[in-house]
Structure 1
Amino acid sequence: MSTFGSHFRVTTYGESHCRSVGCIIDGCPPGMLLTEADIQPQMTRRRPGQSAITTPRNEADLVEIQSGTEFGITLGTPIGLRVLNKDQRPKDYGNKTMDLYPRPSHADFTYLEKYGVKASSGGGRSSARETIGRVAAGAIAEKYLRTAYNIEIVAFTSSIGSISLFPPSTTPSTNPAFLNLLDTISREAVDSFVPVRCPDHSINDAMEKLVGEYRDRDDSIGGTVTCVIRNVPTGLGEPCFDKLEAKLAHAMLSIPATKAFEIGSGFEGCKMPGSVHNDPFTAAEAVSTVGTDGQQEAAPNPFAPKKPRLVTKTNNSGGVQGGISNGAHIYFTVGFKPPATIGQAQATADYDAMDGILEAKGRHDPCVVPRAIPIVEAMASLVIMDAVCAQRGREAMRALLPNLVKDGEQLTR
């Protein structure tokens, strides 16, 4: 399906070389200031042609708001977003050899098996070009989350090939340097480490060199993106089948070229005893009831983000317990495979099962990881936004009911 979300619903459209790509967003709250300037920065971070280690396809990816706002204010009606494809070159893909062969590890064969027809140029809907609509919608969700809850979502490159920001043998959730990075990393800092976006100068340079070597050999390489979500209110997530980490995994593994997802301590946590892995609780710092203007607030706002009365001393859980956010940082890592389309000649078989040689043409990234960072952030925004809508709707309905008391004991709160 091309729709993601239950309350904040995003439907993307478009193929790699059609006239435009974009999305329709249904469920955006009314009354929020919104213009293209709020969306374009993330589009620019995702666009092709950013450096020598990305595809040379030259697209500005300028987003246009088609509906759902008036005078720069959201109306609560569906928001239409469009990005024109200007640097289309379907002829780069439409040669006789490529028409005969499904590209190894690409979606040509599976799309044809499923639909009985496939796009003749690029990857069609399987192309990363489809993610433009996700990034645009994610920017809108993120603006609401930042405005209403001060939620911050930051992703960065954590490995490319065998080069890792932190040694693979370490457990990230117990690594002080990693935990400090989660506390402090910003998008501005990430983008200062060009072009790979790994927040360590020497490792970033080594990664850039490695990607360049694969590019020069007409080959590709994969890697991982780590993402942290800060200031998440407690209570988000819908057990049992829509647990918050399950929705995050769903969202991340829907991104093209993804092959792995882990949250919190991840696979390394499986090696730890429960006595080490458990996250003990402790009292949270007192929450001030003084408003931003210095005046005492008359009454708590029932729609304001909930403050945890307890916090965990450690965060091996990655901010989610029982499928519900506990107020700690949510952090996870997504694995991206090497891009399937490479320039090397490959021994394979054609659609008639005859052996042959395929040498793919076109413009492709030797590594998708640096450009995947805003896509990961966007999908995280959509998951959290949808969870906020579900939880706040539940709380609003609960607020209309009286608290239940039995024998002097309050049963509900």
Structure 2
Amino acid sequence: MHSWEFLGVDSIQQYNQLPVDVKSDIIIGVIDSGIWPESESFNDRGLGPVPKRFMGECVTGDHFTLANYNSKVVGARYYWKGFEVEYGPLESLNSTFFRSARDENGHGTHTASIVAGSMVRSAGLYGISGGVARGGAPSARLAVYKVCWGTLRLCSEADILSAFDDSINDGVDIISISLARIPFVSYSGDANSIGAFHAFRKGILVSAIAGNFFFPGTVGNVAPWILTVIANSMDREFISDVHLGNSKILKSYSLNPFKMDGFYGVINVSDAAAPGVPSTNASFCEEESLDHTLIKGKIVVCVRNSTRTDIPGDTIRRGGGVGMILIDSFPKEGLRQFKIPGIQISVKQSQVLQSYLATDRKPIAKISPTRTVLKTRPPVVALSS
């Protein structure tokens, strides 16, 4: 809830003067990877009947029945024909998928809850930043249109256009789409621009992510008839510390709910390569690259592999390691939770750590649990939206 307080949404007088029944009559169509309907963010407590003007469908499918619909999730459809023409059968994904509106990726559930998640009290991540979680319009209804599939969230533009057509005809008031084609080519060659133009002509607001990703000039949704939204930081940080055996403390960022009872030995992963594995290959802490006898009972120092999205904490845990320090070029912008005590530190901070490891015969460290700090520095544009 702090996010909306920070943005000042609750102080917008025009919105707060609306009667509750008007707020709850708003129907938002979300075009993404589906939804996990059991999430508490989609409870319908306090909501009345579905607005009669909504003409959408409650399409059933794999692990998605009529029982998954309520006065919050009022409709759902899924699209796969365009995908299978472009990428082949869904079964060829080699990953879990549901041939239904159920979300196997998590992104669609995430975006739907941001847009219109219901009030959820006592929310938090293992005690980190606890409080009330809710979306921007918690009393609005959701109509879900699944166009992306698998853990990689692959999407077909033909399916996206079909979803735009259906959402317009279903009678939604707003369309939210967190997809972008990068690099942007032209309005006539971009499914989001085309679909949003048709919605705009029908008086439907289309809100879309900017689609920027680190490099300049990577914004994907630039059509003037789209409300383009870019992510930024806020006045809240998740701080954790690495206490070194020489009494120095590295303050950085993490989502670490674990508490270490004491200090443990620290090992550079390049010194813990499995037999036959070059030390440079082992530095990413990937599967089969580590010597378990060397990392057992120790905190392992790894380097983030920028070409991969998975995190090596599980590999270290299986090898008997008790913690991980991940060297990351952008530790604050991409916070991750590990399966063991872990923290992300900057390249500059790693120089202090490496100096300690090089000069102490038996280096030790302790990673502290994450604490939430409010009223921090002013916001900046995020690396990606």
Q: Name whichever structure is richer in helix by fraction.
A: 1
Tell me which of the two structures has the higher relative contact order, counting C-alpha pairs closer than 8 angstroms and 6 or more residues apart.
1
Give the structure-2-normalised TM-score: 0.24
Give the structure-1-normalised TM-score: 0.23
